[in-house]
């Protein structure tokens, strides 16, 4: 059962300065759609459980047709045990779009994950000055960091002309954000596409990710999705900018007029300014994103 105290805290909003809203281009819309499908593909067991490489990515729920049409193949598939929660996903090469994609799977049991959500933070000055990260997310990342970093670096060496994208949905989005931040610090240009991401750390971390120069951030939210509202701001958690807020409902084709770019750390012009706390909205990002789960 969803924690009532967390829901109450999540509903508290405060005005935020230096914010702006604008619509997006059709090109960006296509990219947001594509990487939502890569995030969806990480929920499909067949894409994360093989010891071999070169498997073509497929989705049994038919919710990643763009990925399938690109004939993307896995370079590595992982399902690793961490203290906070398993870290699963894949590293893929997409020769059609000339991109390497690191996709992290979201949580298996959303309702229980929300109810049991840890709200502690761990100081991580090695990441950025005065930065603190959600303790559970950081612990999960640290468990697998060396393995994933080494494999991503190997993929970059093999495909030096490809761009690199980190992506994920929900808990997977939190891991993607941390991983992208770490890789950027190591000198790699990483573009981040995240869907329904919870808050991952304190204000210095949010400011730092917002200002990182080695890649762009596309943090996507949907209407009144509850997960981006957690953990609450009142407990010291904050979101980086910008946000791309989808305002259309579930099971609806998303158009450029349905997505608003909201700039400004902790802006309430997007998801954070809504009064609802929807789990249903969390499951729809261009497609039913966790359908293979």
* DSSP output for the chain: ---HHHHHHHT-----SS-EEEE--HHHHHHHHHHHHHHHHTTSGGGTS-SSS-PBP--TTS--HHHHHTT-EEEEEEEE--SSS-EEEEEEEETTTTEEEEEE---S-HHHHHHT----EEE-TTTSTT-EEEHHHHHHHHHHHHHHHHHHHHHHHHSTTSEEEEEEETHHHHHHHHHHHHHHHTT---EEEEESPPP-B-HHHHHHHHH-SSS-EEEEEETTBSGGG-S-GGGT-B--S-EEEE-S-TT----GGGEEEEESTT-SSSGGG----BSTGGGEESEETTTT-
pLDDT given for residue 5 in this prediction: 47
Taking residues 159-182, report their average pLDDT.
Answer: 98
pLDDT given for residue 92 in this prediction: 98
Residue 132, strand partner residues: 123
Question: 277 or 16, which is more confident?
Answer: 277
Catalytic residue among 170, 241, 267, 290: 170
Question: Which residue, chain included where needed, has tokens 């961490």?
Answer: 82
pLDDT given for residue 119 in this prediction: 86
pLDDT given for residue 107 in this prediction: 85
Question: With 80 as the cut, is the pLDDT of residue 109 above it?
Answer: no
39 flagged as catalytic = no
pTM above 0.85, yes or no: yes
pLDDT given for residue 4 in this prediction: 38
pLDDT given for residue 87 in this prediction: 92
pLDDT given for residue 185 in this prediction: 98
pLDDT given for residue 15 in this prediction: 40
Q: How many domains does the chain have?
A: 1
Catalytic residue among 225, 266, 277, 293: 225
**Is residue 125 in a domain?**
yes
pLDDT given for residue 58 in this prediction: 97
**Is residue 215 in a domain?**
yes
Question: With 60 as the cut, is the pLDDT of residue 3 above it?
Answer: no
Q: What is the mean pLDDT of the chain?
A: 91
76 flagged as catalytic = no
pLDDT given for residue 161 in this prediction: 98
**Is residue 16 in a domain?**
yes
pLDDT given for residue 196 in this prediction: 98
pLDDT given for residue 50 in this prediction: 80
pLDDT given for residue 51 in this prediction: 80
Question: With 80 as the cut, is the pLDDT of residue 293 above it?
Answer: no
Question: With 60 as the cut, is the pLDDT of residue 116 above it?
Answer: no
**Is residue 253 in a domain?**
yes
pLDDT given for residue 152 in this prediction: 96
Q: What is the pLDDT of residues 218-252, one digit of tens each?
A: 999 999 999 999 999 999 999 999 999 999 999 99
How many residues comprise the chain? 293
Catalytic residue among 134, 222, 239, 282: 282
pLDDT given for residue 20 in this prediction: 61
Question: With 80 as the cut, is the pLDDT of residue 158 above it?
Answer: yes
Q: What is the pLDDT of residues 51-99, one digit of tens each?
A: 878 899 999 999 999 999 999 999 999 998 877 778 999 999 999 999 9
**Is residue 26 in a domain?**
yes
Pairing of strands 87-94, 99-104: antiparallel
Quote the domain boundaries for residue 79: 4-288
163 flagged as catalytic = no
Q: What is the pLDDT of residues 13-60, one digit of tens each?
A: 444 444 566 789 999 999 999 999 999 999 999 999 988 788 999 999
Q: What is the CATH number of the domain that holds 272?
A: 3.40.50.1820
- Mean pLDDT check: name the lowest of 134-143, 174-183, 213-222: 134-143
Rounded CA-CA distance 154/160 in Å is: 10
pLDDT above 90 covers what percent of the chain? 82
**Is residue 293 in a domain?**
no
């Amino acid at each position: 059962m969803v924690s009532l105290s967390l829901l109450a805290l999540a509903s508290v909003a405060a005005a935020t300065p230096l914010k702006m809203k604008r619509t997006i281009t059709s090109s960006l819309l296509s990219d947001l759609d594509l990487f939502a499908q890569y995030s969806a593909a990480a929920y499909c067991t067949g894409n994360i459980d093989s010891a071999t490489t070169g498997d073509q990515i497929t989705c049994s729920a038919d919710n990643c047709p763009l990925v399938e049409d690109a004939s993307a193949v896995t370079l590595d598939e992982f399902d690793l045990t961490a203290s906070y929660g398993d870290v699963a996903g894949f590293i893929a090469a997409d020769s059609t779009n000339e991109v390497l994609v690191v996709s992290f799977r979201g949580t298996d049991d959303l309702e229980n994950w929300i109810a049991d959500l840890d709200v502690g933070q761990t100081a991580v000055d090695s990441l950025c000055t005065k930065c603190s990260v959600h303790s559970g997310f950081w612990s999960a990342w640290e468990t697998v960091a060396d393995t994933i970093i080494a494999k991503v670096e190997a993929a970059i060496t093999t495909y030096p002309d490809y761009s690199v994208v980190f992506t994920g949905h929900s808990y997977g989005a939190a891991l993607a954000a941390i991983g992208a931040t770490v890789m950027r610090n190591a000198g790699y240009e990483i573009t981040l596409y995240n869907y329904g991401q919870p808050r991952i750390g304190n204000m210095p971390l949010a400011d730092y990710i917002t200002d990182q120069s080695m890649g762009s951030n596309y943090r996507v939210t949907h209407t009144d999705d509850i997960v981006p509202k957690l953990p609450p701001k009142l407990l010291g958690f904050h979101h980086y900018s910008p946000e791309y807020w989808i305002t259309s409902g579930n099971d609806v084709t998303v158009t450029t007029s349905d997505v608003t770019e909201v700039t400004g750390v902790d802006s309430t012009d997007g998801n954070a300014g809504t009064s609802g706390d929807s789990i249903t909205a969390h499951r729809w990002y261009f497609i039913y994103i966790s359908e293979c789960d």
